[in-house]
């Protein structure tokens, strides 16, 4: 029995080293891959002429290969890519899975190394995009601008 309690096999499809449940629709299932957004997934389905409502389990090997090749070298407008105007090469790229995580780590290390404002905020564990810290970001134990009230009769 599968997750719905019905008899049958729930097929898991592997695309770009990511397992995707077979009952998901193509557009939804592709967003499970790290680096593929809803808009990229929708554009991919339109470009390859795949029905968005179809289930992932209905894809055959040829269609899966087409999807993988397209994701490796997407022929889409640059605003849909996640790495525009790369610092080293200057090209527009689209990174996926571990490449995306690795590049993000390198970017944060570079910001810390050049001691930019964002790099310093990353180093301190503070928000980097201008949010206020008085009411939020208290989960890390590093609240700024807040003092704990001491109980009467106790020092410190």
- For the chain, the structural domain boundaries read 12-77
Which of 83-97, 108-122, 129-143 is the least confident region?
129-143
For the chain, the distance separating the N- and C-terminal CA atoms, rounded to the nearest angstrom, is 61
CATH of 12-77, one of 1.10.3720.10, 3.10.20.600, 1.10.8.50, 1.10.10.10: 1.10.8.50
3-state secondary structure of 104: helix
For residue 1, what pLDDT band results from cuts at 50, 70 and 90? very low
- Is pTM, for the whole model, over 0.85? no
CA 100 to chain centre: 8
> What pLDDT sits at residue 39?
92
Distance CA 92, CA 77 (A): 10
Q: What is the percent of the chain where pLDDT is above 90?
A: 29
């Amino acid at each position: 029995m599968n997750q719905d309690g019905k008899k049958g096999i729930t097929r898991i499809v592997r695309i770009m080293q990511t397992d995707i449940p077979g009952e998901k629709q193509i557009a939804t299932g592709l967003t499970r891959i790290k680096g593929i957004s809803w808009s990229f997934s929708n554009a991919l389905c339109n470009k390859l002429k795949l029905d968005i409502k179809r289930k992932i389990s209905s894809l055959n090997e040829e269609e899966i290969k087409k999807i993988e090749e397209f994701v490796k070298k997407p022929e889409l407008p640059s605003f849909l890519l996640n790495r525009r105007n790369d610092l080293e090469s200057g090209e527009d790229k689209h990174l996926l899975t571990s490449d995306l995580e690795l590049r993000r780590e390198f970017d944060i290390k570079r910001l810390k190394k050049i001691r930019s404002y964002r790099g310093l905020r990353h180093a301190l564990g503070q928000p980097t995009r201008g949010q206020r810290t008085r009411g939020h970001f208290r989960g890390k134990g590093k609240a700024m601008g807040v003092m704990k009230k001491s109980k009467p009769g106790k020092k410190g």
